[in-house]
Amino acid sequence: MRTIKRQSGSSLKGLLFQNKSLLISAVIASIMIAGLNIALAFILKLLINISIDGEVADLFNLLFVILSFLSLYLIVSVTQYWTKNKYVKEAMVNYKNAITDRMIKKDLSDFRSHNSGSYISVINNDVKTVETDYVEGNIVIITQATLFIFALGAMFYLNVQVAVVAIVLSLLPIITSVAFNGKVSLHQERVSEKNGAFTTTIKDIFNGFTVIKSFGVEKEVSSAVSGVNNSLEVDKRKFKNLTEMVKSLTEVAGFIVVVGTFTFGAWLAIKGKTTPGDVLAYIQLLNYLLGPIVILSESLNKRKAGAVLIQKIDDLLISDGQKEAGIPKEQFNHSIVFDNVSFSFDGDKDVLTGIHLALEKNKSYAIVGLSGSGKSTLLNLLMGYYDSYKGNIYIDDVELRDIDPTSLYKMLSVIQQEVFMFDAPIENNVFLYKNYPQEALQKAITMSGLDGFIEKKGSGFNCGENGSQLSGGEKQRVSIARALIKGTPVLLLDEATSSLDNETAQAIEQSILNIKDNTRIIVTHKLNSDALRMYDEIIMMKNGCVVEKGSFSELLEKKGFFYSLYNVTDNARQKEELLTV
């Protein structure tokens, strides 16, 4: 058997930097803004020096410079936000599309290993944080770092001693911020996890609204939500407290830098070693030194936390890995074989034990057994929902785990009791937006018993959210039609007609059993002798094992477990109930 190699997959982070020309334009504009801010300090210095010992003509010349400066500032600033917003928009479109794409391409077993709330929370919360703290944060960091470097350079230009004092003191807020880096990331990750749990809880309320109402458990559910909500808000508060404490500490450290540098500048002015204009320029430059330190410390911490979220998103989408491209197999030639298959959900207690089955092409099989005996799990293994089973499942001698999942679903269709419906017209729900030959459509619609409904309501009838405008039976008919239209060589039915009345259910079962060029494996609770007689083989399950198999008459002759169940009563209805308990 080929082993499944797990591949780590590439990180989606690269997508955030894909549009390089826009990113570079936004960065250049940001750097220019930083330069213009420094130029403002020199303009103020000139203004003060002219006011002390200059001429009116100098003042007019300077005013002309100021007007040109303001026009340039406006142009650069508009360019900066325009390119930045366009870059962020394109980066986020690419990133979110890639996330959705990866989610959809996950194979079933991988997708089901995570709670759907985690995926929703990633799209709703984490991606937003990545946008503000990481993508926009990168540009903020570049702008502020440039402003800091320019301000420092300008200080050196004005006075080396003042610049050295400013650098030494600036280490204080930087150290403060770096010291809390790790802790901030940890708290951000915790908030993200709690967001996921909260989304899952809210999702459960929407999905289980009818249950909540009919069982009158509003208060209990509200209190459960309140617990999750409270826990999320507690962690959010801790996160905010921490970031704001870091901000306060950095601000205080910043004041020390201002007061220290300014005192030193004032001392130099008193000694006559610098001009008042220079002192004003120091003050202005100090703002450009301190502002960035505070913003940088906050932005660097948030960026780090954003990077942790990017990693978390990657892990959710990649770490479980997708199967290495498997063997493409779309034709079903002769048989499906379960060779000593055992399976456990929790790795402890087996739900299926030592299953040996050989299912031949174009035959029909009924799987029967008491509730919880493992019938659905057997079908789910065949659908590739789980790959951690022991033993082997072969489709025409190819191990199921080695088959490319996409091609597997071209061979198998499943019809289940739970039917998902899109909030779309019935025709889109049946065809699932694909084109099929008219003849195939008509055949599937007739066989599934949907023809009457479509005639009455029209193919454009909207099904409502998850089919709220349709009855349970109508939804099941849609699901049957969907599978029949797909025309796969193997059909799996798991309680597919349970919501239909006995007569309709039997009619549909009969028409499915009449398809001769199809392999049908049908889990049924209905011990109806007319239907059971039509199956090539009945597989009787008990406690995760296949205990009997054979045709209806063979099993009756055997007088075993199937016989005893079938003969418990002559009343078919009671037999059905017996198996459902």
Ligand X SMILES: Nc1ncnc2c1ncn2[C@@H]1O[C@H](COP(=O)(O)OP(=O)(O)OP(=O)(O)O)[C@@H](O)[C@H]1O
Q: Find the DSSP H helices in 368-501.
A: 375-382, 405-411, 426-431, 438-447, 451-457, 472-486
CA separation for the pair 537, 364 (Å, rounded): 7
Distances (CA, A) of 79 to 178, 444, 574: 32, 59, 77
What does the DSSP 8-state code read for residue 426?
H
Query: From the CB of 351, what's the least distance to ligand X, in Å?
Result: 4
- For residue 239, give both structure tokens: 């996160």
Sole window of 77-85, 167-175, 270-278, 368-376 interacting with ligand X (rule: CB under 6 A):
368-376
Q: Which residue number, 328 or 372, has a Cβ lying nearer to ligand X?
A: 372
Residues facing 365 on adjacent strands: 521, 537
The helix/strand/coil state of 344 is: strand
Q: Verify binding: residue 376, ligand X, rule CB under 6 A.
A: yes
- CA terminus-to-terminus distance, the chain: 39
Q: Verify binding: residue 469, ligand X, rule CB under 6 A.
A: no
Distances (CA, A) of 576 to 355, 415, 477: 25, 20, 21
Residues facing 541 on adjacent strands: 369, 546
Distances (CA, A) of 182 to 33, 78, 170, 300, 406: 31, 36, 21, 11, 42
Sole window of 18-26, 274-282, 372-380, 504-512 interacting with ligand X (rule: CB under 6 A):
372-380
> How many chain residues bind ligand X (CB under 6 A)?
10
Query: From the CB of 368, what's the least distance to ligand X, in Å?
Result: 9
- Contact with ligand X (CB under 6 A): which of 25, 373, 497, 519? 373
Sole window of 47-55, 310-318, 320-328, 365-373 interacting with ligand X (rule: CB under 6 A):
365-373
Query: From the CB of 382, what's the least distance to ligand X, in Å?
Result: 12
Q: Verify binding: residue 11, ligand X, rule CB under 6 A.
A: no
Query: From the CB of 380, what's the least distance to ligand X, in Å?
Result: 7
Q: Verify binding: residue 553, ligand X, rule CB under 6 A.
A: no
Q: Are 228 and 202 in contact (CB under 8 A)?
A: no
Q: Verify binding: residue 449, ligand X, rule CB under 6 A.
A: no
Q: Verify binding: residue 374, ligand X, rule CB under 6 A.
A: yes
Other beta carbons within 10 angstroms of residue 557's beta carbon come to 11
Q: Verify binding: residue 299, ligand X, rule CB under 6 A.
A: no
What does the DSSP 8-state code read for residue 303?
H
Query: From the CB of 344, what's the least distance to ligand X, in Å?
Result: 9
Query: From the CB of 372, what's the least distance to ligand X, in Å?
Result: 4
Q: Verify binding: residue 388, ligand X, rule CB under 6 A.
A: no
Query: From the CB of 523, what's the least distance to ligand X, in Å?
Result: 6
Query: From the CB of 496, what's the least distance to ligand X, in Å?
Result: 12
Q: Are 177 and 296 in contact (CB under 8 A)?
A: yes
- Contact with ligand X (CB under 6 A): which of 276, 372, 437, 472? 372
Across 268-304, b (16+ Cβ under 10 Å) vs e yields beeeeebbebbbbbbebbbbbbbbbbbbbbbbbbbbb
Residue 415's nearest CA partner among 384, 383, 370 is 383
Query: From the CB of 480, what's the least distance to ligand X, in Å?
Result: 18
- 185 Cβ neighbours under 8 A, 6+ residues apart: 301, 304, 305, 308
Residues 334-353: x/- map of binding to ligand X (CB under 6 A)?
A: -----------x-----x--
Query: From the CB of 338, what's the least distance to ligand X, in Å?
Result: 14
Q: Verify binding: residue 526, ligand X, rule CB under 6 A.
A: no
- Contact with ligand X (CB under 6 A): which of 371, 406, 529, 574? 371
Residue 122's nearest CA partner among 300, 305, 301, 314 is 314
Q: Verify binding: residue 497, ligand X, rule CB under 6 A.
A: no
- Contact with ligand X (CB under 6 A): which of 265, 369, 384, 405? 369
Phi, psi of 462 (to 5 degrees): -80, 130
Q: Which residue number, 94 or 376, has a Cβ lying nearer to ligand X?
A: 376
Q: Are 375 and 490 in contact (CB under 8 A)?
A: no
Sole window of 186-194, 367-375, 545-553, 556-564 interacting with ligand X (rule: CB under 6 A):
367-375
Q: Which residue number, 22 or 368, has a Cβ lying nearer to ligand X?
A: 368
Q: Verify binding: residue 49, ligand X, rule CB under 6 A.
A: no
Phi, psi of 356 (to 5 degrees): -120, 120
Query: From the CB of 215, what's the least distance to ligand X, in Å?
Result: 21
How far from chain centre, in Å, is Cα 155? 49
Binding residues for ligand X, rule: CB under 6 A, are 345, 351, 369, 371-377
